[in-house]
Amino acid sequence: MGVFSEQFEQKGLWGRFLLTSTGCIGACDAGPSVLVYPEGILYGKVTKEDVAAIIDEHLLGDKPVERLKHQPKSGSHQPISRHHRQTGARRTGGDGINDFI
């Protein structure tokens, strides 16, 4: 989360996006994960080096980073619950979390 916070500060993204730390989001095999809403895209096995790509390509460029998208193992995919939709990074605006429930 520290690298995301640093990048948000450097790029002046606070107020345009929300960033939330969370516990397990149900994809343990994905390792360190980033969940982006409203798209609902889960990135898995995210490293410090991947943060810039997620911010620049997805959050700012509106193009998901295909190489980082989590591909669940066969039979292990579970839908993300409403609780999990309250976590991760998302664009600001609208009525807040009620936009996602």
CATH of the domain at 23: 3.40.30.10
Tell me how many domains the chain contains.
Answer: 1
Residue span of the structural domain in which 55 resides: 2-99
pLDDT at 23: 81
Cis peptide before 32 (omega within 30 of 0): no
pLDDT digits (tens, 9 = 90+) for 34-56: 999 999 999 999 999 999 999 99
Which residues, at least 6 apart from 67, have a Cβ–Cβ distance to it below 8 Å?
none
Please list the residues that pair with 88 across neighbouring strands: 20
Nearest to 65 by CA among 56, 75, 73: 56
pLDDT digits (tens, 9 = 90+) for 3-15: 999 999 999 999 9
